[in-house]
Chains A and B, each alone.
Chain A
């Protein structure tokens, strides 16, 4: 069953199109992340579904029923805003019981539901506390419990982990998903953090300038992004502009700089096409000795930075620009890459790691939203 359907929904604010012809279908029980940079319209999308604002054109259906003109209190979507907006003058328990009480359940029934929700988020022991006495992580859980207590089949989360520390965020995101799946609620989770989206979503909708660029499973978007922007925004990559010079038996040869070519196993583009060759940083390895293999780019090792699992290496290849490689830490240490800064090294990528895109109309830098 379809839980949420948006059909050609647009929203304009004072001549600015915040949402532009969005089509979206979310199934019952799915955990969907809406991913995009600030200003892409993600919060507007959420508020449209919640009914806090109405679309300029297009229709919205929840649970198969059209809700386009319905007020929020008559819809069935719970909204959890970025700053949680806990009611400061009520205890945690009263906050969570607010939804059922407002809908007309008796106080006893409402408090029973509240207690159950608080047990689920493991905050039953703070039921009588006030919001300002709790830490950020706890407040977030209260906000969640409050949203779930209304028993709505749809939960709308606006950057729920935005105010949380980096490490805590990693732990809490799995909690979120677990909770949602346990209660079988459909979730629309808005975020600007692609790692967050990739680790918990069933499907990701990437939003840019009010339009859905791609909507699919993490693995799809990661391995088959439909544009350079997507390749960059979800997962990050290296980009080199070039022309396909030759096509033969399932591979393409792309000249990216004078005297230098890349081989790709992609099958879409033909000889003569102007393309952007793109390969993921984690698919790029760094060699310390020259090699005659294909796709080996010589350059100077400019810097190394520790990311944790990976060591990020920047190789200046001269005419082809800077190439970034994420080398597994163990490998990087074995090769002693930190000691080789300033020396010649070689960046290499396998042919099936080279993705090709048609050259975009706008300049590549603009397309990638380099700030």
Chain B
């Protein structure tokens, strides 16, 4: 006869030990057991996503439909607009491919080389991420075009003037770390089992990498390409700084905005939104069917390419490209900043006089907006993340949601801002401040949700299965398993969203007519609007760099697992 121990606990009020907090949690847990409660939670998340994040930027532009096609009666403007759009895609495509070619060997070096430099290089490769794009823009401008940069070293023949070449150099630099980050992550997660198997069959390392590893990493390569492409397509502030007379999409739009020309602005925004969405979806659909060329074999050549000296040469070349085209241009802003410390601009900055009062106001605004946008995204993004990661609505719904969530970062942020502005235009009770928050939330939502989805997907379903059979209600599982096991991703996602928001120029330019955020102010200073000295500009940018460094330092420390 089994000695029965009652399976259910005694009623809560009979147990003196149950504290208030615990009682509250247990009640919430029980509520989560009800299907209705859960559906409501997911529904709220989806509603937020649709009304704030997705519909305004993607469909808002349609509200200005009548004005969009007015441009057709101005053929010059039209052709300028169309050239600008083509230029955007051409540059983005070229930059993404070049970055792939340069970044892949770098990622390989970081993960596979046994050199002690590898982890240092890994950290350095993050620098263009850490430096806000406006600072990067100024840095690139100074290095490739200014008198102290390349022209100072090699002579003025080597200098570049603002134009499409400088845009390419700039975009190459800031999309590089995207490739490296994605590919390092992919390589670290990739078990070299298959490569080892290939080697035991006689393949030298180069052949094994080419025929086995690369095809297996294809989805990561495509993801990296798309991310780099999107970044190049979208960036506004820095591009404006280095574009000179050349126009790509964002440059055209910002000029049109300044000139008050509504139709060209709407037209180019509209085309950019449609074209980038289609491109993104197209690549996602076609890429799995693409096959990389892996059948050709040249044993002797590839054996030589696998040898020690060949690998050494390749690493050297990779590092050289990295140093000259990425790192040095990125850090060049240090020079004027250092100058600022020397010539007293630093004191002036802290005193808040003159241009500096506006500066600190702008910085305050940037952080406030970033904080609000991030907070909104974390709270509203969690249920959607769970829905996608655990396919709660079924495979089809989660798949669609997953694609939709990725669209806001594909659309150039300035076009996104234009669309949002039109969408909420009629709602005059919404202040510019809130418009800004909505716009920034739209842009950064994807970063948070993707991070959370990846983290939740990596938690084995079996753990949740066991927890449930042990009696845990859905909220209990979420509280005690999902969140603790994904807390790093949560933090990482939030910080990525935050820094991205602080960095943003395009959407701010589109949405805000009176409010000025820090990066937008910097662009104004560089274009000479506030008559700011080079030291002041350098210093202003340096502050932004430092705070960006600080938040990413917090991220690195928090995600370093002991």
The reply to whether A and B meet directly (CB within 8 Å) is yes
Known: A72-B469, A73-B471. A83 touches B7 (CB 8 A): no
Which residues of chain B from 477 to 495 have any CB-CB distance to chain A below 8 Å in the complex?
480-481, 484-485
Asked whether any CB of chain A lies closer than 8 Å to the CB of B473, the reply is yes
8 Å CB interface, A114-150 against B: 146-147, 150
Give chain A nearest CB distance to B425 CB in angstroms: 47
Contact status A98-B472, CB under 8 Å: yes
Chain A residues with a Cβ closer than 8 Å to the other chain, count: 43
Q: A88-B485, A103-B9 are in contact. Are A81 and B471 (CB under 8 A)?
A: no
Cβ of B463 within 8 Å of any chain A Cβ, yes or no, is yes
The interface centre, meaning the residue of A79, A80, A107 with most chain B CB atoms within 10 A of its CB, is A79
Question: How many residues does chain B have at the interface if contact means C-beta atoms less than 8 Å apart?
Answer: 30
In the bound complex, CA of A326 to CA of B12 (Å): 63
Q: Which residues of A contact B557 (CB under 8 A)?
A: none
Chain B residues, CB < 8 A from A80: 466
Q: Do A78 and B12 touch across chains, with their CB atoms under 8 A apart?
A: no
| Residues from chain A with Cβ under 8 Å of B476 in the complex | 102
The verdict on B309 contacting chain A, using a C-beta distance below 8 Å, is no
Contact B463 A85 (CB under 8 A): yes
B33-A73 in contact (CB<8A): yes
Question: In the complex, what residues of B have CB within 8 A of residue A106's CB?
Answer: 9, 15, 17-18
Contact indicator per residue, chain A 79-96, by CB within 8 Å of chain B (1) or not (0): 111110101110000000
Question: Are A150's CB and B2's CB within 8 A?
Answer: no
A354 within 8 A of B: no
Write the nearest CB–CB distance from A162 to chain B, whole angstroms. Answer: 13
CA distance A216 to B202 in the complex (A): 52
B452-509 residues at the A interface, CB under 8 angstroms: 460, 462-463, 465-473, 476, 480-481, 484-485
A29's closest neighbor in chain B, by CB? B2
A87 to B462, CA, bound (A): 10
Are A104 and B485 in contact (CB-based, < 8 A)? no
Query: Which residue of B15, B468, B471 has the most chain A CB atoms within 10 A of its CB atom?
Result: B471
Q: How far is the CA of A108 from the CA of B26 in the complex (A)?
A: 16
A72 CA to B471 CA, complexed, in Å: 7
Task: Name the CB-closest residue of B to A98.
Answer: B470
Q: Are A102 and B472 in contact (CB under 8 A)?
A: yes
For the complex, give the distance between the alpha carbons of A265 and B169 in Å.
Answer: 90
CA A82 to CA B472, docked complex, whole Å: 20
Given contacts A50-B469, A72-B468, A98-B472, contact A108 B462 (CB under 8 A): no
Q: Complex Cα distance A29/B467, Å?
A: 24
CA distance A98 to B472 in the complex (A): 9
Find chain B residues with CB under 8 A from A28 CB. 2
A104 in contact with B8 given A52-B465, A83-B462, A88-B485 (CB within 8 Å): yes
Name the A residues within 8 Å of B18 (CB-CB).
Answer: 106
Total A-B Cβ pairs within 8 A: 97
Q: Does A260 contact B (CB under 8 A)?
A: no
Q: Which of B412-457 contact A (CB under 8 A)?
A: none
| Contact status A150-B462, CB under 8 Å | no
C-alpha gap A146/B465 in the complex (Å): 13
Please judge, given known A-B contacts A85-B463, A106-B18, whether A73 and B7 are in contact too, CB under 8 Å.
Answer: no
B5 touches A (CB below 8 Å): yes
For residue A38, CB closer than 8 A to chain B, the reply is no
Whether A356 is near chain B, meaning CB under 8 Å from some CB there, is: no
Q: Is A102's CB under 8 angstroms from B471's CB?
A: yes
What is the CA–CA distance of A89 and B488 in the complex, to the nearest angstrom? Answer: 13
Chain A residues whose C-beta falls within 8 Å of the C-beta of B465 in the assembled complex: 47, 50, 52, 72, 79, 81, 85
- Contact between chains at A152 and B466 (CB < 8 Å): no
When C-beta atoms are compared, the residue in chain B nearest to A150 turns out to be B470
Tell me the chain B residues, 1-32 only, with Cβ under 8 Å from chain A: 1-3, 5, 7-9, 12, 15, 17-18, 26
Whether A73 and B473, one on each chain, are in contact in the complex, defined by CB atoms closer than 8 angstroms, is yes
B468 close to A83 (CB less than 8 A): no
Q: Are B2 and A52 in contact (CB under 8 A)?
A: no
The contact of B468 among A52, A100, A107, by CB within 8 Å, is A52
Chain B residues contacting A102 (CB-CB under 8 Å) are 467, 470-473, 476, 480
B471 touches A103 (CB 8 A): yes
Chain A residues, CB < 8 A from B462: 81-83, 85
- Assess whether A87 is in contact with B463, with CB atoms less than 8 Å apart: yes
Q: Which residues of A (146-176) have their CB < 8 Å from a CB of B? A: 146-147, 150-153, 156
A353 at the interface (CB under 8 A from B): no
Closest to A102 in B: B472
Contacts of B468 in A (CB 8 A): 51-52, 71-73
A106 to B7, CA, bound (A): 13
> Which residue from chain B places its CB closest to the CB of A104 in the assembled complex?
B9
A324 at interface, CB cutoff 8 A: no
Nearest residue in A to B485 (C-beta to C-beta)?
A: A89
Supposing A81-B462, A87-B481, A104-B12 touch, asked if A75 and B469 sit within 8 A by C-beta, the answer is: yes
Given A29-B2, A71-B33, A83-B460: A103 touches B7 (CB 8 Å cut-off): yes
Q: A89 to B473, Cβ gap below 8 A? A: no
Please state if B2 and A108 are interface contacts (CB–CB under 8 Å).
Answer: no
Let me know if B470 and A146 touch, CB within 8 A. yes
8 CB-based A-B contacts, threshold 8 Å: A28-B2, A73-B471, A76-B7, A79-B465, A83-B462, A85-B460, A103-B7, A147-B466
By Cβ-Cβ distance, the 4 closest A-B pairs, closest first, are A184-B2, A99-B470, A102-B472, A85-B462
